[in-house]
Structure 1
Amino acid sequence: MNEQELTQNYMKAFEHLLRLMSDVDNAIDRSRQSNDSLGVRQYEHLKKDYVQQLADLISKAPKSVTVQAVIH
């Protein structure tokens, strides 16, 4: 696999994981609104897993990719 393909695959994986995290954030909000404490705990656990996967993915970034984070 050449560098360009590696970068494209990396970006696809990164974007997919960010979409999953956004979906989980929305699910957490919905669970909170409906007072579903079990749902909140389950989704928060899933989010922690996604954050770990994101950290792993960032640590394996190809040399052609620069990852920057903005914390709100």
Structure 2
Amino acid sequence: MTNIEELMEAYYLERKVIFEYEHTGRIALNEAKKLRQTVNLLEEYALASDHRSFLYDLFEFRKKEKENKKRVSALFFDQK
């Protein structure tokens, strides 16, 4: 079984559990809806082909943030 197939099966099982809990009254309709939306978002992010990992995105953000601070500092403090 490939990683994508495993992911699809896992998301199917999550939706199945949400449905069963909703059907038996363990969770309310609006709570089930929110849970399904969360599963959909996770599935969308995990299956997107151009997404990198969260950590990579975080490091890139911090790197760009430092570069921007250096530029601002150079603009305001390095003027003669």
In the superposition, the TM-score normalised over structure 1's length comes to 0.44
In the superposition, the TM-score normalised over structure 2's length comes to 0.41
- Between Structure 1 and Structure 2, which shows a larger proportion of helix residues? 2
Larger RCO: Structure 1 or Structure 2 (Cα < 8 Å, ≥ 6 residues apart)?
A: 1
